[in-house]
């Protein structure tokens, strides 16, 4: 292994290989994977040339799984074991699912399965056993993962996964966990409307304030973005994570039942009519009317005409429902409709003429639809993935996103106290001091919720943090500083420190709707039993990949700045740690590799800080240069 | 874990290369904010070592906090006064001139009435008037801090601004209530 790479004259840096990275749109109805090839973002098709993978997963008694078109075709035959729109259940409890009778699944209340983490994420009883929505989503991601590696001919460095902007912490965590189960390294969770804005903005080199109206199969997002010289800055976001195209299908379905005097349908008939309802909705995109026909299991024939105006009448208030978050987002951004330069439409449901009319009327302009609303999110996610993987791109651009919902802690009397307000640019942090209220108290509990309401019971419970190991003191004399950090994925991390003695307090997290580490581990093991993969071997391979990336990154950093920022002794310490890591890499001891990685990381912290100081100084000096040229 | 060693002694004005005064060029602030985030944002470090990613998150968090403080007229005033050793006492000092308090009550009654009658136009107009008054108050703060160095008077204006911000929030709540 060469320590120094000699570049050809004229090449400023060592040529480095293109790292394979993808963007994934894990949709309620359909999912897609895209990548940047030769500088252009493209959607990757399956062997049959299809871009869209229906987000449908069917489970069989022998434990095998079918995903996509094949599963979708059989959904009316086997509705109980064929899961559609699983995204609606991600990070959600049983009580969140509005009308349980309208879906055929056998739900399991997670709080009754012994994990004891009431309320808990809902689970589904299938022919292949009890499945968490996280596992179902992982099956979809596995198919996309395999499709991408087959198309690109190599192992992926990682993936950017798009999530609805209005997803809360539990829904984001569930998505990350699903990716982990599917063996994907998540480079970033990217908000869907922001992904769409990247795909549009970089294409059109636009400047100004844009609104992204994203109505997907099961979620609605509105984001207001400002584009200035390569910076995509989200000013405000709002939405409804339980409103989407599915609801329009359901309106048609209910109307069908009413028109035909039907009640209490079996699961198969219900799924059949729901599928027909969806087809009718799509038909109405460019037809004034459509016939809905079906033959029920009792032989009864359904033949009903649905006219555009009837569909409009029954679903108008769903569209109206989307405009309320739009008004809020505008108000939060401090803007009026007249300030919006363009409106980008995202999501298959925005093809509905009544949606397009309502949006055009509200914004007083024709919305932009020149990119395929089904593909635009995956295309944008791929562009972001390419940058995050470290592939150089021609244009230097930056994304500044926000947290969609306020984070609060529970105070006396079940009230909330805001820690981080909604629409704060991420990453962001807030430290707060707490004290003990009893003599000798060594532990305390903090309940974190997400939402805008004043009562804890009206917000979403995220987690309870138990702090232990506080040194015993007189009541009120302990000072515990708790830091709430929201990272660039929009996810919360909590750390605590007791300030009087300077001890790090241990934090035990009880996620309200998430999965525990043990559950994730069990699911990983379950899924690998079928894949015949050895857990040890997998852990080792992951560590080896991480070690190689780390070595490469440190080596590049040393080449760039080692001589100028570090003295010989400091360089020597880092080189020693690098050599130690290289040495253990030859062994098959993944624990030793992990220790050496941590050691090398720790050894490079001061160097990383010095490099950052240099970058910041560079940013400021660059600014002075432009000022000079302006004068 | 060792504490970060980067230069947090720099105040926010130094960070953005702006002189320490209330009147700032907002376009220039935005431009420098973007230039800094271009250098420190986690998206620029995701393929690098964990140490670099950690430092990047700390810096990006810091730059966001600094920008938020500088961009908001009320928090910029509060921050500037704190650098002068003056506490604005927004939570403790609620003593206000009688006419100001009367005006507050009138605002609240008017909002309540508009909400009751779902009068969106009235709320819109109130918001415009409030924004106008807040801008006047900001000009006063600028004069007190930058020109007269009268920090006690500036602090009182900050407290007034805080009262008015709360009223703007109540208007937003009223809009939401009508929307429902």
Q: What is the pLDDT of residues A528-576, one digit of tens each?
A: 555 555 667 777 777 888 888 889 889 988 998 988 899 988 899 999 9
Q: Which among B30, B36, B46 is the nearest to A619, CB-wise?
A: B36
* B159 occurs within a structural domain: yes
Q: Which among A188, A424, A616 is the nearest to B40, CB-wise?
A: A616
Residues A184 and A47 in one domain: yes
- Tell me whether strands A398-400 and A220-228 are parallel, antiparallel or unpaired: unpaired
CATH of the domain at A564: 1.20.1270.10
* A301 occurs within a structural domain: no
CB-based contact A423:A332 (threshold 8 Å): yes
* A522 occurs within a structural domain: no
Q: How many other CB atoms are there within 10 angstroms of residue A341's CB atom?
A: 14
CB-CB under 8 Å, B43 with A553: no
* A61 occurs within a structural domain: yes
Q: Is A257 helix (H, G, I), strand (E, B) or coil?
A: helix
- Confidence (pLDDT) at A112: 53
Q: Is A11's pLDDT higher than 50? A: no
* B76 occurs within a structural domain: no
* A357 occurs within a structural domain: no
Residues A571 and A444 in one domain: no
Q: Which of A207, A229, A419, A427 to mutate to test the interface with B (most CBs of B within 10 A)?
A: A427
* B88 occurs within a structural domain: no
Residues A585 and A503 in one domain: no
- Chain B residue closest in CA terms to A601: B51
Residues of chain A found within 8 Å of residue B130, distances taken between Cβ atoms: none
CB-CB under 8 Å, A613 with B6: yes
Could you tell me the two tokens for A135? 């596992």
CATH of the domain at A183: 3.30.420.40
CA dist B111 and B119 (Å) reads: 9
- Tell me whether strands A158-163 and A21-26 are parallel, antiparallel or unpaired: parallel
CA dist A356 and A280 (Å) reads: 18
pLDDT digits (tens, 9 = 90+) for A454-481: 888 888 888 888 888 888 888 888 888 8
Where b means 16+ CB within 10 Å and e means fewer, A540-555 reads: beebeebbebbbebbb
CA A263, A267, A272, A274 dihedral sign is positive
Residues A471 and A561 in one domain: no
User: Nearest 5 degrees, angle CA A550-CA A551-CA A554?
Assistant: 85
Residues of chain A found within 8 Å of residue B64, distances taken between Cβ atoms: 424-428
* A270 occurs within a structural domain: no
Does A424 touch chain B if contact means CB atoms closer than 8 Å? yes
Does A612 touch chain B if contact means CB atoms closer than 8 Å? yes
CATH of the domain at B136: 1.20.1280.20
* Residue after which a domain boundary falls, among A517, A543, A561: A517
CA dist A583 and A579 (Å) reads: 6
B38-42's contacts with Cβ under 8 Å and 24+ in sequence apart are: B38/A231, B38/A396, B38/A398, B38/A619, B39/A612, B39/A615, B39/A616, B39/A618, B39/A619, B40/A612, B40/A615, B40/A616, B41/A398, B41/A399, B41/A400, B41/A488, B42/A427, B42/A487, B42/A488
Q: For residue B152, what pLDDT band results from cuts at 50, 70 and 90?
A: very high
Point out the residues of A that are catalytic: 25, 87, 192, 214
ipTM of the complex: 0.90
Among chain B, residues having any CB pair with chain A shorter than 8 Å are 1-2, 4-7, 17, 30-32, 34-43, 46-52, 54-57, 59-61, 64-65, 67-68, 172, 175-176, 179-180
Q: How far is B98 from chain A (nearest CA, A)?
A: 30
Q: Is A573 helix (H, G, I), strand (E, B) or coil?
A: helix
- Mean pLDDT on A290-309: 91
Residues of chain A found within 8 Å of residue B48, distances taken between Cβ atoms: 390, 553, 557
Would you report the helix, strand and coil content of chain B in percent, each value rounded to 5? 75, 0, 25
* B63 occurs within a structural domain: yes
Q: How many other CB atoms are there within 10 angstroms of residue A370's CB atom?
A: 10
H or E stretch covering A560: none
This prediction has a pTM of: 0.88
A501 lies in which domain range?
Answer: 407-517
Q: For residue A204, what pLDDT band results from cuts at 50, 70 and 90?
A: low
Count of domains observed in chain A = 3
Name which of A449-463, A606-620, B53-67 the model is least confident about. A606-620
B144 lies in which domain range?
Answer: 98-179
Q: Is B84's pLDDT higher than 80? A: yes
The mean pLDDT value of chain A amounts to 87
Q: How far is A3 from chain B (nearest CA, A)?
A: 18
- Confidence (pLDDT) at A5: 36
CB-CB under 8 Å, B59 with A616: yes
The fraction of chain A above a pLDDT of 70, given in percent, is 90
* Residue after which a domain boundary falls, among A451, A483, A517: A517
Does A400 touch chain B if contact means CB atoms closer than 8 Å? yes
Residues B106 and B160 in one domain: yes
Q: Please identify among residues 478-517 of chain A the ones whose CB lies closer than 8 Å to any CB of chain B.
A: 485, 487-488, 504
* Residue after which a domain boundary falls, among B55, B71, B87: B71
Residues B175 and B112 in one domain: yes
Question: How many Cβ pairs within 8 Å bridge chains A and B?
Answer: 131
The mean pLDDT value of chain B amounts to 89
- Token look-up 């074991």 returns A81
Count of domains observed in chain B = 2
* B80 occurs within a structural domain: no
Q: Which among B38, B68, B172 is the nearest to A331, CB-wise?
A: B172
- Token look-up 């990247």 returns A198
* A248 occurs within a structural domain: no
CB-CB under 8 Å, A606 with B5: yes
Residues A420 and A500 in one domain: yes
Contacts of A392 (CB under 8 A, 6+ apart): none
CA dist A442 and A471 (Å) reads: 6
CA dist B71 and B63 (Å) reads: 12
H or E stretch covering B113: helix B98-116
- Chain B residue closest in CA terms to A557: B48
Residues B175 and B129 in one domain: yes
Closest by Cα among A604, A563, A554 to A582: A554
- Mean pLDDT on B144-170: 93
CB-based contact A87:A41 (threshold 8 Å): no
CB-based contact A235:A401 (threshold 8 Å): no
Q: For residue A9, what pLDDT band results from cuts at 50, 70 and 90?
A: very low
Could you tell me the two tokens for A206? 């636009």
Q: Which among B1, B38, B48 is the nearest to A398, CB-wise?
A: B38
Q: For residue B63, what pLDDT band results from cuts at 50, 70 and 90?
A: very high
Q: Of A490 and A542, which is predicted with more confidence?
A: A490
User: Nearest 5 degrees, angle CA A234-CA A236-CA A240?
Assistant: 120
């Amino acid at each position: 292994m060469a320590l120094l790479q000699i570049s050809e004259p004229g090449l400023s840096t060592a040529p480095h290989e293109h790292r394979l990275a993808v963007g994934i749109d894990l949709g309620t109805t359909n999912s897609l994977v895209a990548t940047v090839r030769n500088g252009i973002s493209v959607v990757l098709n399956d062997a049959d040339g299809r871009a869209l993978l229906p987000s449908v997963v069917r489970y069989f008694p022998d434990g095998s799984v079918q995903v996509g078109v094949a599963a979708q075709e059989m959904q009316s035959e086997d509705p109980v074991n064929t899961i559609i729109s699983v995204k609606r259940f991600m990070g959600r409890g049983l009580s969140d699912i509005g009308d349980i009778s309208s879906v055929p699944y056998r739900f399991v209340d997670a709080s009754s399965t012994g994990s004891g983490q009431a309320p808990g994420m809902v689970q589904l009883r299938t022919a292949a056993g009890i499945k968490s929505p996280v596992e179902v989503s992982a099956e979809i991601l596995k198919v996309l993962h395999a499709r991408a590696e087959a198309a690109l001919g190599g192992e992926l460095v990682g993936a950017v996964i798009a999530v609805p902007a209005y997803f809360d912490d539990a829904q984001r965590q569930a998505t990350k966990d699903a990716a982990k189960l599917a063996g994907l390294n998540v480079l970033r969770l990217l908000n869907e409307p922001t992904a769409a804005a990247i795909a549009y903005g970089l294409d059109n080199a636009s400047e100004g304030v844009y609104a992204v109206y994203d109505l997907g199969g099961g979620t609605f997002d509105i984001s207001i973005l400002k584009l200035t010289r390569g910076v995509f800055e989200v000013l405000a976001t709002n939405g409804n994570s339980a409103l989407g195209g599915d609801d329009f299908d359901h309106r048609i379905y209910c109307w069908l039942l009413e028109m035909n005097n039907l009640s209490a349908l079996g699961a198969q008939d219900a799924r059949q009519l729901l599928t027909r309802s969806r087809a009718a909705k799509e038909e109405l995109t460019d037809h004034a009317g459509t016939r809905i026909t079906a033959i029920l299991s009792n032989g009864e024939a359904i033949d009903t005409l649905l006219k555009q105006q009837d569909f409009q009448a029954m679903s108008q208030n769903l569209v109206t429902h989307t405009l309320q978050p739009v008004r809020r987002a505008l108000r939060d951004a401090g803007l009026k409709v007249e300030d919006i330069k363009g409106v980008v439409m995202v999501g298959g449901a925005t093809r509905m003429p009544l949606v397009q009319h309502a949006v055009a009327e509200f914004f007083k302009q024709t919305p932009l639809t020149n990119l395929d609303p089904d593909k635009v999110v995956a295309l944008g996610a791929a562009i972001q993935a390419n940058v995050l993987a470290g592939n150089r791109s021609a244009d230097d651009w930056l994304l500044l996103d926000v947290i969609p919902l306020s984070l609060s802690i529970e105070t006396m009397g079940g009230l909330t106290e805001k820690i981080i307000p909604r629409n704060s640019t991420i990453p962001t942090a807030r430290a707060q001091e707490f004290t003990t209220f009893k003599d000798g108290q060594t532990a305390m509990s903090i309940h974190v919720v997400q939402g805008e309401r004043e009562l804890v019971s009206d917000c979403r419970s995220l987690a309870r943090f138990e702090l232990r190991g506080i040194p015993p003191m007189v009541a009120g004399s302990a000072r515990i500083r708790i830091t709430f950090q929201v990272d660039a994925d929009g996810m919360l991390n909590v750390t605590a420190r007791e300030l009087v003695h300077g001890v790090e307090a241990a934090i035990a997290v009880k996620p309200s709707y998430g999965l525990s580490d043990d559950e994730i581990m069990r699911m990983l093991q379950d899924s690998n039993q079928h894949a015949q993969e050895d857990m040890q071997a997998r852990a080792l391979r992951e560590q080896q990949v991480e070690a190689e990336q780390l070595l490469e990154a440190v080596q590049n950093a040393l080449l760039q700045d080692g001589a100028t920022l570090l003295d010989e002794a400091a360089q020597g310490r880092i080189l020693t740690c690098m050599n130690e890591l290289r040495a253990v890499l030859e062994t098959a001891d993944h624990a030793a590799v992990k220790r050496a990685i941590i050691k090398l990381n720790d050894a490079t912290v001061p160097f990383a800080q010095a490099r950052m100081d240099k970058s910041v100084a560079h940013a400021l000096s660059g600014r002075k240069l432009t000022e000079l040229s302006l004068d | 874990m060792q504490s970060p060693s980067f230069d947090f002694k720099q105040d926010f004005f130094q960070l953005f290369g702006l002189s320490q005064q209330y009147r700032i060029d907002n376009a220039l602030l935005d431009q420098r904010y973007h230039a800094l985030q271009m250098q420190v944002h986690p998206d620029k470090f995701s393929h690098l070592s964990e140490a670099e990613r950690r430092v990047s998150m700390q810096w990006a968090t810091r730059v966001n906090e600094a920008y938020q403080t500088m961009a908001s007229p009320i928090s910029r005033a509060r921050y500037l006064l704190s650098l002068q050793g003056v506490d604005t006492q927004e939570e403790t000092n609620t003593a206000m001139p009688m006419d100001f308090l009367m005006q507050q009550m009138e605002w609240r009654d008017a909002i309540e009435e508009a909400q009751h009658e779902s009068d969106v136009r009235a709320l819109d107009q109130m918001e415009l008037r409030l924004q106008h008054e807040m801008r006047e108050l900001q000009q006063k703060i600028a004069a007190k801090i930058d020109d007269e160095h009268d920090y006690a008077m500036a602090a009182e204006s900050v407290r007034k601004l805080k009262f008015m911000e709360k009223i703007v929030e109540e208007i937003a709540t009223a809009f939401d209530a009508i929307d429902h």
